[in-house]
Chains A and B, each alone.
Chain A
Amino acid sequence: MERAFASKVAKRAFYTVCVLFLASYVGTRFFTHIDLALYGYMVGTVVFIGGFLYRFSAWADRPPTKIILKKGLRLLLRKSTPQTAVEHLATYRFIWNRGWYRWTQHILLGWGCILSALVTFPLVFGWMYFTMGDNGTYTVVAMGVDVLKVKADGWIAFLFYNALNITAFMVIAGVCMALYRRLKNMQARAEQNFLYDFLPLYLLLFVSITGLLLTASNLFLHGFGHPVMSLIHQFLVIVTLIYLPFGKLAHIPFRPMSVFARNYREHYAEQEMKLCKVCQTGFVSAEQSGDVVDVLGENGIRFEMAEGFHLAELCLPCRRKYRIFRFTGIPTHYRSEKEANQHAKG
């Protein structure tokens, strides 16, 4: 079976498309409820999966990534995983600590995009659709199962109809905040470039605006220009999807790694701490110290010193003192004097 595929990417792509196909088969009640208006998005998504797997596989084959992925998956059932996952992936607590402005912007953008995806992908693949058995009542069908009956003029139905309008406003607000920051913040201005930092923002902005224009066309113009606008919207969405794995937006699918990394650090720190070869204080888990030594070795970087330790086995203050020793010949790292305060107050 291993030899049936030309590469890992091919294998992953094949299985992913199979799973999608099966899910659609079940979800659409054996292909009886496909929304063909969304056909273009389906093709776009399959292309996106190809690109994503290509990017993901190239990335996952790097030695450090491989280690975190493998050990992170193994530790996924840790007790702290739900809390870490919520803080890292849902409430963005660490971004709050970087500032309220960036947090607000990220909540609007992040949840605007996630909610939109949660609405559109099930509709595209037929995992969710609506039927109207009795007049005035919609039945929500998820994965081929009737899950909910809602009044067509009720507030839940209102939220269903307008979900993408609401998320569009969230995304537009978030994009505007992000663009304002990119125009005003000096550090951002120094490092940003058009393709990496601005293009994803513009894509999200245009997707949201054209999406809202579809609603506007329905509400105020009796559907004038709807066919053209829906094609433009579709084109922009597909471009965004195809671009996603290769630009800044790639951090969306890759972000769960931060949960892996936290679990990895916490779990192995509980197991055994690495004692600094000079001062004997634990500074990192023994596992991580060993992993870093291995990864550096795979990259042809060897920091074995004549004294018989690898630099990754020294705590940070000792490592700095050791470097000064290499400059001056005075072995201060074997003395007990603490490093002077290194934190200036700005």
Chain B
Amino acid sequence: MAKQVLYIEMDNCIGCRSCLAACTQCGGHDNRNRNYVMDVDPLQTRQTIPLMCLHCVNPACARSCPAQAIQIADNGAVLSALVEKCIGCQNCTIACPYGIPKFDQEQNLMYKCDLCYDRSKEGIPPMCASVCPTNTLQWITESELAEKQAVHKLAGGKWLASQRPEPLEGETNVKISLPGILQGVQKLF
């Protein structure tokens, strides 16, 4: 099976929050969601953007964990803290550049998106991607990803229809596409 990745086309998001609801239903997520849907311009527009763990290639959360509780799976998923190792220091929540990990004070345990590892390791899309009604969250193979990204290059690379890498801190396993147009001068939002 070709390696599959989570791909986020942010301009498709309609703010239905199906991904949040689906996240709660993943096995082991214990009825709590681990992702976010953010307003782009609250009180001005209805546009939203899903924000979730982007599964950094060099994850700051795992680097800052004193207990080595955050493991990286073979498919690149940065897993939620191992329950027996997490000591509840919350370094990971401070280190994450995107503010993703959540912390449960009662259980003294951090929890974060694990790319629904029980599903994604079998090639089944994560819960959020499998319910997204507008194809904002997509579970696609790397060749499909390359095709999509090729479309963003206009006029032989002179123009870029989506600013892919710049808005992130370092390389991530989850790929994103922003609707930036014409070298980031103007946005569709």
User: A interface vs B, CB < 8 Å?
Assistant: 59, 62, 64-65, 67-69, 88, 94-95, 97-98, 185-191, 248, 251, 254-255, 257-258, 260-262, 264-265, 284, 288-289, 291-292, 295-296, 299, 301, 303, 311-312, 314, 316-321, 323-324, 326-330, 332, 335, 337, 339-340, 342-346
Say what secondary structure dominates the interface of chain A.
helix
Q: Establish whether residues B60 and A329, one from each chain, have CB atoms under 8 Å apart when the complex forms.
A: no
- Residue of A94, A191, A301 near B63 (CB, 8 A) is A301
Known: A257-B67, A320-B36, A340-B37. A332 touches B42 (CB 8 A): yes
Asked if A251 and B85 sit within 8 Å, CB to CB, the answer is yes
Q: Is the CB of B79 within 8 A of A68?
A: no
A257 engages B66 (CB within 8 Å): yes
Contact A295 B107 (CB under 8 A): no
Q: Which residues in B have their C-beta under 8 angstroms from that of A265? A: 89-90
Q: How far is the CB of B14 from chain A (nearest CB, A)?
A: 14
Q: A288-B89, A311-B97, A320-B36 are in contact. List 9 more A-B contacts (CB 8 A).
A: A97-B108, A264-B89, A265-B90, A291-B91, A295-B63, A301-B58, A303-B169, A328-B49, A335-B42
Residues of B contacting A328 with CB < 8 Å? 40-41, 49, 187, 189
Using a CB–CB distance below 8 Å, which chain B residues touch chain A? 10, 17, 20-21, 23-25, 27-33, 36-43, 49, 51, 58, 60, 63-68, 79, 83-85, 87-91, 93-99, 104, 106-109, 117-119, 121, 167, 169-170, 178, 187, 189
A118 and B37 alpha carbons, distance in the complex (Å)? 51
Contact A342 B97 (CB under 8 A): no
Query: A303's closest neighbor in chain B, by CB?
Result: B97
Determine the chain A residues whose CB is within 8 A of the CB of B108 once the complex forms.
88, 94, 97, 258
Given contacts A98-B109, A292-B95, A303-B169, contact A190 B117 (CB under 8 A): yes
- Beta-carbon contact of A187 and B42 below 8 Å: no
| B117 in complex: contacting residue of A191, A264, A289, A320, CB < 8 Å | A191
Q: Main secondary structure on chain B at its contact with chain A?
A: loop
Chain A residues within an 8 Å CB radius of B58: 299, 301
* Residues of the B chain whose Cβ atoms lie less than 8 Å from the Cβ of A190: 27-28, 117-119, 121
Q: Which residues of B contact A339 (CB under 8 A)?
A: 38-39
Contact A296 B41 (CB under 8 A): no
In-complex Cβ contact of B66 among A64, A289, A337, A340 (8 A): A64
A326 contacts B167, CB within 8 Å? yes
Interface pairs (22), CB distance under 8 Å: A68-B87, A69-B66, A88-B108, A251-B84, A257-B66, A261-B89, A262-B88, A264-B89, A288-B94, A292-B95, A295-B63, A303-B60, A318-B99, A323-B98, A326-B167, A330-B189, A332-B42, A340-B38, A342-B33, A344-B21, A346-B21, A346-B24
